[in-house]
Every structure is written in structure tokens, then in C-alpha cells.
Structure 1
Amino acid sequence: MIDWVAAAFSSAKAAGDIAKSLVTLRDEELVRGRVMELTSTLMDLQQQMMQGQLEQMALIKKIADLEDALKSTKAKQNVLERYELRGVGPAKVVYALKPEYADAEPAHFCCTNCYDKGHRSVLKAMRQNNSTSMKFSCPECSNTFFITGEYLPDTLKAR
């Protein structure tokens, strides 16, 4: 990637050396030859600078893409940080909305499988199994969860 910088400096030095030698030449044929050599060297320098600009533009695009990806990741992380792992029965866990966010959203649970993969998937209540538990299903991965009634928020309990 930095090769173009070394080549550009080399071409610039060669152009300077040729220009200095032109001052001392008096023979018209030699001058023409050196001018052509200088022109060729300057064209090489221009090509190296254009290569550098192309690489710079590619790097600027890559940085912008990485910044967008970082923003997206931070936004996802902010959503996921609103949940905590909570036991909902013997050897059963789900991600539940932390109490400090209860005013902003209704009580709900998230799938542990999807959460661990980095995205939120809100569990959907399927049916009241009996008076002691309720079935929930993940719309993303189809995992099912039976949550014991004592762990259900009041808004999800059968009335």
C-alpha cells in the first residue's frame, strides 16, 4: 500500500535531477532527450500519485463502513443491555427487561438463544398451560419456554 509513496519520491527525485542537468546542457539534441526523460518521469510520478489517491479513497470508504458497523453494534448493545438473565422456574432462564426500564416498555421476556447470538427476540405467549405455568415461543428460532406462574409479571398472568 505504501509502495506508491516510495515510487512517488523516487520519481520526484529523478525529475529534480533531470531538471538540474538541463540547466548545464547546451546541445539541443541532449536537451530534447532530457526533456522527454523528464516528461516520462513526471508522468510516472503522476501515476503514482493517482494510485495513492485511489488507495486513500478506498481507505476512507473502509473507515466509513467500519464506523457505520460500529454504530450499529453499539445500538444493538444498548438494546441488549436493558435485559438481565432471570430464573423463571427450576433450571429455567430467560432474559427479562430490567426493572429500571419497566416504565418505558411492557413486561416481556427474550429468548436466551437469540440474545446470545446478539439480537433481541421477544417471546410470544402461546397459551396458559395450567395454573402453574405458561408456554412462550420464540418467533426467530422457535424455542419454547414454559415459565412458572410465580415468575410471570402481573400483566401476563391469566385473569
Structure 2
Amino acid sequence: MLAEIASALGAIRTGSDIARDMASADSLDEVQGKAADLFGAIAEIQQQLAAMQIAYTSLLGERDALDREVAAMKLATLDRQRYSLHALPLGGLVYRFKATNGRADVAHDLCVHCYDLGTKSVLQPNGTHLVCPTCKLRLRAKGEASPAAKRGGVCLWSV
């Protein structure tokens, strides 16, 4: 962007010099000779301004993309604060949802591997295991599955 500004300022300076020479010309022929140079300088200025406008528009697009990325990162950070690392009774780690007052979210556990990659993958009960539907990780949970898990419902694995 600085190169475009410097180039435009140079073209403006050239046009200004030509206009000054036209003002000090002694004859109509000199003025007409300088007019062609002045039109060329004006065309150069317009070209430089158009290049600056394109660069400016590109910078605005980049800024907007960065603003969206920052907003997404803030939202992800807030979401990550809703989970804490939890050790299962028979080994293995999960990210457990921290229940908060007034929230209607269902308690659930997330796969540590997927969570660290930026994906929220809810572990699903399958017999005596919790299974990640994304990476297929299997964690042995406490003893036998609860009746809710056997029915395919929600099962909270307690310590």
C-alpha cells in the first residue's frame, strides 16, 4: 500500500510541475504541447488511485476475515471453559461438561483427542465402553453399562 501511495504522489508531483510550466508558458503552442503531457500525467494519477482503491479493498477484506477469526477464537475459548478434564474410574481421560445454573444443556463427555484438534465429539455409550463417533476411540467405563445406555439413551458415567 505504501508503494502505491508513493507512486501516486510522484504522479501528482509530475502533473503539478507540468501545470506550473503551462501557467508560465509564453505562447499558445507551448500550452498545447504541455496539455498532452498534463493529460498523460492525469491518466497516470487516475491509474495509481485505482490501484490504491483495489489495495484498500483487499485490506478491508483481510481485516474483516481477521475480525471473524478473532470472534470465532473468542467463542471457542468461552466454549472450552465449559469443560474440564476428568479421569474415568477405569483409566482414560475425557472432557466433562461443567453444569451451570440456569443452563438446559445435557451433561456429556467429549473425546480428548478430538477436542484437542478443535472438534467437539460427544462420547457415546456402547456396552461397557464410551466410543468416539469421530475418531473411534474406545474408553472402558465403569463396570457394566447402565440401563439407559443399553436402551440407547443418555448414560452418565459416574465415578
The answer to whether 1:31 aligns with 2:14 is: no
- Mapped to 2, the partners of 1:43 and 1:75 lie a distance apart of 48
Deviation per CA, 1:81-140: give whole Å up to 9, x if none.
Answer: 21000111254211101143695322211000011111211101112xxxxxx3111111
Residue 43 (str. 1) matches residue 43 (str. 2): yes
Structure 1 residues without counterparts, runs of 5 or longer: 128-133
- Residue 11 of structure 2: aligned partner: 11
1:89 is paired with a residue whose SS is coil
Alpha-carbon distance in 1 for matches of 2:20, 2:62: 41
TM-score, normalisation: structure 1: 0.84
Counterpart in the other structure of 1:156: 155
**Residues 1:89 and 2:83 are matched in the alignment:** no
Comparing both structures, which one devotes a greater share of its residues to strand? Answer: 1
Identity %: 25
Cα distance in structure 1, aligned partners of 2:101 and 2:68: 27
Segments ≥4 residues shifted beyond 4 Å: none
Identify if the C-alpha distance between structure 1 residues 157 and 18 changes in structure 2 by more than 3 Å, giving closer, same or farther.
closer
Query: Is contact 1:8–1:48 with CA below 8 Å preserved after alignment?
Result: yes
What's the TM-score, normalizing by structure 2? 0.84
Q: CA RMSD in A?
A: 2.4
Contact residue 90 and residue 140 of structure 2 kept, 8 A: no
Q: How many residues align?
A: 150
